[in-house]
Structure 1
Amino acid sequence: MKGVVHDSLTAESEKSVELQARASVRKAQTSHKGILQHTWHCQNNNHQHLLFSFWEQWATLQIEKGVKKQKALALENLISNGIIQREETSMEEEMAGQRQGCFSLADVLYFSKKGLEAVADDEVTRRFSSEELVSWNLLSRTNVNFHQVSWQLTFVWISGILIRYCLLLPLRIGLSSFSILFLVSATTLVGQFPNGSNSLYGCHCRENRPQKGGICVANHTSPLDVLILASDGCYSLVGQVHGGLLGLIQKSCMKTAQHVLFERSEMKDRHLVRKKEHIADKTKLPILIFPEGTCINNTSVMMFKKGSFEVGGTIHPVAIKYDPRFGDPFWNSMKYSTMTYAFKLLTSWAIVCNVWYLPPMVKEEEEDAVHFADRVKAVIAAQGGMSVLPWDGGLKRKKVKESFKEEQQKKYCRIVSKDRCRAEEWH
């Protein structure tokens, strides 16, 4: 009996041990799965953290690059547009939010602000000085107050002086002297030949290149404008009579073609008749005119004189844009003589420019010469990447016309009268 009981107890104990073993195995498996899940979750979090930190660093670098680029663009715009940042708004728009009712003493602030801006940095005077560059182009005249930054930069600057003055200057003087002597002698010889009855001008013309009987108008920066355009075509020039070296070249050119030269004191009607007679003859070369009437520093296009657009005929706009990084082509005739300007060009690195022949334009019906001139000016400025200014380039030689002052006074009177009418209607 005792043996039977003992066997039954042993069997039950073995079953319980087996159940406990199975339970422990299941528990171990469950805990192992939990450990694996926890480990995978931690690794996934680490990967996400690394990816997030990488994208955060990349975004920070992109933002910093964008900020640097915006600062560089702001600096470039500040240098090219002046020390004062002006809002391109009219008098009506700027005074609309400040005025309430009729005339008030606060209106004086607008005119005082404009006056101070004009005294500090006006838009006209800046156009008759050399363009300010963002970076130094290793020309001594662009860095008058020289400060030693490093010996490497000083060495490059001195090497540039030796190259420009000892190599380029003698070579260019010899080439220029030979060219002028050849021009004078060749034009004198060609002027003795009779005109050919069946002469044709063969040229490799571009699509929008000026044709005979038309008028070619371009922005004016330098006397080099004529040489650049003449190297790609033949024109009859319209310009002021000069003396000295330029006068010698003009007289030589007059022997080979019929150019229209005039004095500034010449009657405008007489000048207009001469241009109309030239255009009426379709066998003559196209006229080359610079409607600004003076040299501008190639950062903007100033007012086009309407006389060039009263002649009639087809207008062929041409945009000329120089690269000032290699040399300053602007001729400030009030500051530099012809020989000084020539020496300035000969000691520069190079004269680089781009010329665009724009599609021909014709005056529309019921369009006066002033609006037609403004339309042509806007097309040239847009192509050359230059700003449009309504001011007359002749302001560097004479005072502001009374008509400009009267125009501003009329604008202000219209604003005051409108506000007065509104105030009366409100009351």
Structure 2
Amino acid sequence: MKTLAMDAAGKLISSSYELDLYRPNIEDYLPSGSSINEPHGELRLRDLLDISPTLTEAAGAIVDDSFTRCFKSIPPEFWNWNIYLFPLWCFGVLVRYLILFPARVLILTIGWIIFLSSFIPVHLLLKGHDTLRRKLERLLVELICCFFVASWTGVVNYHGPRPSIRPKQVYVANHTSMIDFIVLQQMTAFAVIMQKHPGWVGLLQSTILESVGCIWFNRTEAKDREIVARKLRDRVQGADNNPLLIFPEGTCVNNHYTVMFKKGAFELGCMVCPIAIKYNKIFADAFWNSRKQSFTMHLLQLMTSWAVVCDVWYLEPQTLKPGETAIEFAERLYASALII
């Protein structure tokens, strides 16, 4: 795409030169009512695009290379409006909504019953035994995340060594949806840094997820950045703390692209362990566009899809090289994520 834009830009310069050479004849090609002698002595952009296919290609390349496409859902290709396949699609809708969805709701309900009947006694009765309580709460959080993945008929393939609890390390991962946290949490109880949400998600954050050491921030609070940075530095120093997970993109991206990492996770002076998550869109689109859809509707969409299929790669840990800045460190890991 960059090559196309550069070629088009080169042609644009050439076309501008030719425009000066043949200026007297351009009016022959302008739309009726247009004149080369506009109020400010310049041609309007739409007139130039009308007479120059090269300019049209250049403008199209710029628009197609827009940063905003990273945050838009890419609709699937329509295949079901076919007289032979449409009945099969209708049958699939009935299976997903009348068979799979009730079964998944039942699985999730059973999971919450088991979790709450175990978590509440552990949280209340073992307050004086912090080490045992944290260990049991960590296992229970992993358990409820397993039930969530089961309610999507999740098929998750993990590649690489399982994360371990060690001081001075932080895990970073690309971010497609809040379910990234659930997919990773069912394998290892991470302490994640995440934006504070309202509603039932916020209730879970302030009660259950607090038990694994998660850190919440609020973008509307001006002093929150300094407070979170201090908590992060304290968190990575603890030998018994759960592994810290950060999504350095800072927002959900549609899993077709990866945006530049923010430097906060890379200036903690510790080992950085990259994680790459890739979802398969054949069975379900895991991207959550929070501006258009609530997280509740996002979960319902996943529970009425065929399955959530994804691969998770635990990549080789990286450390800051001598003379390397935090921004350069972030760019290096960003480049390694693009390979996946």
User: In which range does the TM-score fall when normalised by the shorter chain?
Assistant: 0.7 to 0.9
| Contact map agreement 2:277 2:310 (CA 8 A) in 1 | yes
Q: Give distance in 2, aligned partners of 1:178 and 1:208.
A: 28
The 5-angstrom pairing of residues 143-222 of structure 1 reads 147=81, 149-150=82-83, 152-192=84-124, 193=126, 194-196=129-131, 206-207=160-161, 209-213=163-167, 214-222=169-177
- Any conservation in 2 of the 1:315–1:361 contact (CA below 8 Å)? yes
Counterpart secondary structure, 1:215: strand
Q: 2:261 aligns with which of 286, 290, 304?
A: 304
- Could you list the per-position Cα deviations for residues 39-96 of structure 1 after superposition, in whole angstroms to 9, with x for gaps in the alignment? xxxxxxxxxxxxxxxxxxxxxxxxxxxxxxxxxxxxxxxxxxxxxxx334786x8767
For residue 206 of structure 1, report the CA deviation from its aligned partner. Answer: 4.9
Mapped partners of 1:198, 1:256: distance in 2? 9
1-structure distance, mates of 2:61, 2:9: 18
Q: Helix, strand or coil for the counterpart of 1:196?
A: helix
Q: Give the deviation of 1:243 after TM superposition.
A: 1.4
SS in 2 for 1:256: helix
Greater shift, 366-375 or 184-193, is seen at: 184-193
Equivalent residue, structure 1, for 2:40: none
- Tell me: CA distance 1:208–1:382, structure 2 relative to 1, closer, same or farther (3 Å): farther
Q: 1:184 to 1:125 in 2, by over 3 A?
A: farther
TM-score (norm 2): 0.72
1:369 match: 326
Displacement of 1:228 in angstroms is 1.1
Select 2:191's aligned residue among 219, 232, 236: 236
Displacement of 1:230 in angstroms is 1.0
Residue 258 of structure 1 corresponds to: 213
Q: What RMSD in Å do the two structures reach over aligned CA positions?
A: 3.4
Aligned-partner SS, 1:374: helix
One-letter amino acid matched to 2:131: G
Structure 2: distance between partners of 1:114 and 1:210: 51
Check conservation: 1:210, 1:316, Cα contact below 8 A. Answer: no
After TM superposition, list the pairs within 5 Å mapping 1:98-113 onto structure 2.
none
Local SS of the residue matching 1:302 = coil
Distance 1:118 1:178, change over 3 A: farther
Change (3 A) 1:183 1:88: farther
Paired residues of 1:208 and 1:360 also in contact (CA < 8 A): no
2:248, 2:191 → 1: CA distance?
Answer: 15
> Using the alignment, how far apart are the partners of 2:256 and 2:68 within structure 1?
12
Deviation at 1:241, TM superposition (A): 0.7
- TM-score w.r.t. the length of structure 1 is 0.58
Gaps of 5+ in 1: 1-85, 139-146, 384-427
Larger Rg: 1
**Aligned match of 1:349 in 286, 306, 313?**
306
What SS does structure 2 have at the residue aligned with 1:237? strand
Q: Find the residue that maps to 1:300 and give its secondary structure.
A: coil
Measure how far apart 1:158 and its partner are.
1.1
Q: For 1:117, what is the secondary structure of its paired residue? A: helix
Q: Does 1:123 align with 2:55?
A: no
Shift of the 115–260 alpha-carbon distance from structure 1 to 2, 3 Å rule, reads farther
Cα deviation for residue 174 of structure 1 reads 2.1
- Give the aligned residue type for 1:219: N
Structure 1 Cα separation of the partners of residues 318 and 100 of structure 2: 42
Structure 2, unpaired ranges of 5+: 21-44, 49-54, 143-157
The alignment partner of 1:234 has SS state of coil
- Residue deviations 1:338-392 (CA, integer Å, cap 9, x gap): 2211111111000000001100000111111111111111112212xxxxxxxxx
Pairwise CA distance, 1:190: 2.4
Q: Return the alpha-carbon distance in structure 1 between the equivalents of residues 58 and 165 of structure 2.
A: 46
Q: 1:123 and 1:291 mapped to 2: Cα distance?
A: 21
Taking a change above 3 Å as real, the CA distance of residues 341 and 205 of structure 1, as seen in their structure-2 partners, is closer
Partner of 2:244: 287
Using the alignment, how far apart are the partners of 1:115 and 1:264 within structure 2? 37
Task: Calculate percent identity across the aligned residue pairs.
Answer: 32
Which amino acid in the other structure matches residue 131 of structure 1? I
